[in-house]
């Protein structure tokens, strides 16, 4: 019991530092992405360090849901990859400790992290997002800091365009100034030219003061009235010193957080549920009102309802319309004069268009409400998806690290990035489908979890059973079986042989195998037709018996001390069980597949090729059987390699 406890402590001490390191690395990466995305809103605003630091702090809290799953995946990969690379995991397994016991303390830690992530999403994240976006919008509305360049028209002062030819040494004096005042909004700007000047702010930083020296003021006084047509009034003023005050707020003003707190990003689960219920009730009320209006509309001038007084109030009563005589509306319409028919059609079209526009507008308002409901439901589902994502990524990373057995930052980072990109694409796709209303919200938000959870369970099972998931030979054999490629046997002489090979038994097994192979070849002497192939194909049961006989013979001959027997046994082909030998187990099903399957003809051609290869493999088996018989009897000659029958 003490040994297991020490193991738990060892695993926690190994994992927690890596988890902390990878978490801050991932958080730094997503923070850089945030900075690159909103850099234009921050640069040139003259913001103080404390304001920027506050924004980054709240942004870091808001980026935790994005960095946490990635850091868990990377840390678990590195932890178990290091254990596998340094043979520590193998030592644990050899001492009787299963992989599930090794993962147990970290899984318990991940459950605790998931619970903490839920409360973080529900309590901390809404407040941090409200403060972050409030700061962001406040920064966007702040006017840029004055940084007037030389030789370029500066347009960042509202209502003024400023040109400066040269600046002083300390940028305190401006020389060769030209000011275009377009603050009055007319097409005749006031122009001020000065030899030099100085810019400064008032104490409250709400006004910009321009002290100009030695210049001229030009202004067009044209009023634009018709009574003064032809009278061009101008104003020119020469000054030695002039002061102009321009309204220019350079302060940083924070917006009120209440507006942002009322959005879906600033609410916890209880507030989201309350808003969703309220909006659903409103949508239902409006939808019922629209339905009542549509049902109560008159049909051909006959009202669908009538009003009656009851207790001094109007009461709607269904008025059943009874048509006693069939009416021919076409005859009534044709009886009208052409002008009356035209006017009637125009009135009908106008009435229909007005009603259509009215209900479309009311429908748009309902669509907006439903969109807001979906956004609130998405935000509520996010409170839970992050917690499950932490567990899923641990179930993927831990067994994957135990399988690949590569530690460090190289291979784990590559695998983590690939898996996280796949997760992000699937999650983003589900989010957009849910946001646009194409899928139910819970389906879209849980799509990534539903896809990656089976992967985590699969990898955990393979790692616990020590399956060769990433063994190239295993995948190569699988591809050979799937594509029908040829496989080669490999045998070596054993140093210690317990069961010696008896020549009599070996010859009996070889003869029996040759008889079975020749019987199969005699059963199918010719190429099968399209119908025969789809109805019958090759007898797979007989093939399995031949394959079993062959494998049993090779296993028996592998105990031989004769190198020539071992080498010749390796010439036996591997009899595979391909689907193309017989695509349907029932003849009737084969006929249906041949008639309905679009690729039945190409499949038939591929099947014929595989059947031909199988016949050649069986012929080679017969040839090797004859050669082995000659080797065991001591009658083997080199000519038998090319003429095994002795003909």
Give the per-residue pLDDT at 230.
Answer: 47
On whether both 102 and 208 belong to a single domain, the answer is: no
pLDDT along the chain (647 residues), means of 10: 69 91 91 84 72 88 90 90 84 83 90 93 90 81 65 78 81 82 70 86 75 85 50 77 76 71 86 89 82 70 60 58 67 82 86 82 79 90 91 90 78 82 89 89 90 89 73 60 61 75 88 92 90 88 90 88 85 85 85 78 88 90 90 74 50
Same domain for 426 and 488?
no
Q: Which residues of 314-343 are buried (b: 16+ CB within 10 A; e: fewer)?
A: eeeeeeeeeeeeeeeeeeeeeeeeeeeeee
Report the pLDDT value the prediction gives residue 229, as an integer from 0 to 100: 46
Looking at the structure of the chain, the number of domains it has is 3
Choose one of 411, 442, 464: the last residue of a domain.
Answer: 464
Range of the structural domain that residue 186 is part of:
153-247
Supply the pLDDT for residue 584: 84
Do 18 and 105 share a structural domain?
yes
Helices 411-435 and 447-464 cross at an angle (nearest 10°) of: 150
Specify whether 160 is located in the same domain as 136: no
Task: Identify whether 325 is part of a domain.
Answer: no
d(CA 146, CA 155): 10
Please answer whether residues 441 and 371 qualify as being in contact, where contact means their C-beta atoms are separated by less than 8 angstroms: no
Report phi then psi at 342, rounded to 5.
-60, -45
pLDDT at residue number 602: 85
Question: CB neighbours (10 Å) of residue 175?
Answer: 15
State residue 230 phi and psi, 5-degree precision. Answer: 90, -10
The interaxial angle of helices 49-62 and 125-141, nearest 10 deg, is 140
Based on the domain organization, do 124 and 171 belong to the same domain? Answer: no
3-state secondary structure of 202: coil
The whole-model pTM stands at 0.61
The pLDDT value given to residue 301: 61
Helical packing angle, 503-523 and 540-557, nearest 10° = 160
Query: Do 79 and 137 sit in the same domain of this protein?
Result: yes
First to last CA, the chain: 75
Same domain flag for 84 and 30? yes
List, in sequence order, every residue forming a beta bridge with 212; answer none if it has no partner.
Answer: 197, 242
115 and 210 within one domain: no
352 inside domain: no
Tell me whether residue 257 is in a domain: no
Q: What pLDDT, on the 0 to 100 scale, is given for residue 634?
A: 81
pLDDT for position 171: 63
Which residue is listed with tokens 């529900």? 122
Is 434 inside a domain boundary?
yes
User: For the purposes of burial, counting CB atoms within 10 Å of the CB of 197, is it exposed (0-12), middle (13-18) or buried (19 or more)?
Assistant: buried
What tokens does 197 get? 């000047």
pLDDT in tens, 63-106: 999 899 999 999 998 898 888 888 888 888 888 888 888 888 99
How are beta strands 153-154 and 160-167 bridged, if at all? antiparallel
Q: For residue 93, count other CB atoms closer than 10 A to its CB.
A: 15
Q: Are residues 88 and 179 in the same domain?
A: no
């Amino acid at each position: 019991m003490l040994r297991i406890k020490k193991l738990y402590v060892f695993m926690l001490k190994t994992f927690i530092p890596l988890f902390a390191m990878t978490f801050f690395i991932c958080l730094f990466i997503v923070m850089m992405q945030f900075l690159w995305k909103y850099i234009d809103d921050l640069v040139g605003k003259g913001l103080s360090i404390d304001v920027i630091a506050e924004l980054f702090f709240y942004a870091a809290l808001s980026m935790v849901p994005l960095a946490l799953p990635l850091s868990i995946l990377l840390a678990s990969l590195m932890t178990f990859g290091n254990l596998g690379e340094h043979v520590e995991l193998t030592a644990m397994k050899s001492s009787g400790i299963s992989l599930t016991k090794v993962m147990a303390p970290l899984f318990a830690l991940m459950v605790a992290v998931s619970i903490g992530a839920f409360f973080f999403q529900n309590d901390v994240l809404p407040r941090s997002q409200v403060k972050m976006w409030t700061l962001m919008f406040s920064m966007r509305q702040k006017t840029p800091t004055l940084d007037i360049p030389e030789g370029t028209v500066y347009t960042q002062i509202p209502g003024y365009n400023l040109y400066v030819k040269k600046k002083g040494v300390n940028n305190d004096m401006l020389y060769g100034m030209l000011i275009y005042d377009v603050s009055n909004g007319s097409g005749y700007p006031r122009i001020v030219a000065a030899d030099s000047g100085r810019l400064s702010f008032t104490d409250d930083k709400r006004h910009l003061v321009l002290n100009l020296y030695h210049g001229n003021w030009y202004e067009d006084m044209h009023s634009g009235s018709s009574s003064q047509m032809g009278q061009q009034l101008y104003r020119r003023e020469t000054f030695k010193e002039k002061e102009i005050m321009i309204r220019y707020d350079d302060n940083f003003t924070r917006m009120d957080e209440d507006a942002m707190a009322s959005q879906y990003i600033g609410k916890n689960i209880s507030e989201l549920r309350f808003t969703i219920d309220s909006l659903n009730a409103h949508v239902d009320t409006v939808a019922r009102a629209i339905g009542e209006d549509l049902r109560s509309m008159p049909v051909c001038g006959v009202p669908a309802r009538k009003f009656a007084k009851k207790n001094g109030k109007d009461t709607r009563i269904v008025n059943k319309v009874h048509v006693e005589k069939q009416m021919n509306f076409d005859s009534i319409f044709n009886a009208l004069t052409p002008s009356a028919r035209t006017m009637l059609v125009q009135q009908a079209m106008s009435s229909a268009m007005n009603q259509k526009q009215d209900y479309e507008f009311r429908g748009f308002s309902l669509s907006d409400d439903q969109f807001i409901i979906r956004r609130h439901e998405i935000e509520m589902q996010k409170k839970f998806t992050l917690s499950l994502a932490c567990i899923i990524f641990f179930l993927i990373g831990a067994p994957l690290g135990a399988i690949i057995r590569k530690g460090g930052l190289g291979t784990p980072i590559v695998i983590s990035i690939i898996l996280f990109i796949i997760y992000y694409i699937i999650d983003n796709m589900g989010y957009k489908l849910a946001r646009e209303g194409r899928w139910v919200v819970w389906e879209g938000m849980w799509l990534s979890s539903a896809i990656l959870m089976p992967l985590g369970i699969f990898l955990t099972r393979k790692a616990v059973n020590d399956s060769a998931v990433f063994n190239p030979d295993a995948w190569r054999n699988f591809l050979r079986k799937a594509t029908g490629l040829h496989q080669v046997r490999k045998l070596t002489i054993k140093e210690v042989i317990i069961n010696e090979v008896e020549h009599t038994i070996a010859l009996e097994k070889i003869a029996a195998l040759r008889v079975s192979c020749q019987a199969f070849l005699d059963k199918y002497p010719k190429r099968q037709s399209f119908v025969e192939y789809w109805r019958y194909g090759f007898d797979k049961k007989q093939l399995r018996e031949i394959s079993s006989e062959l494998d049993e013979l090779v296993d028996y001959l592998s105990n031989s001390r004769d190198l020539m027997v071992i080498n010749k046994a390796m010439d036996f082909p591997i009899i595979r069980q391909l689907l193309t030998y017989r695509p349907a187990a029932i003849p009737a099903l084969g006929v249906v597949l041949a008639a309905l399957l679009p690729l039945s003809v190409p499949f038939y051609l591929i099947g014929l090729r595989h059947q031909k290869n199988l016949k050649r493999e069986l012929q080679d088996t017969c040839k090797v059987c004859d050669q082995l018989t000659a080797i065991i009897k001591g009658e083997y000659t080199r000519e038998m390699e090319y003429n095994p029958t002795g003909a």
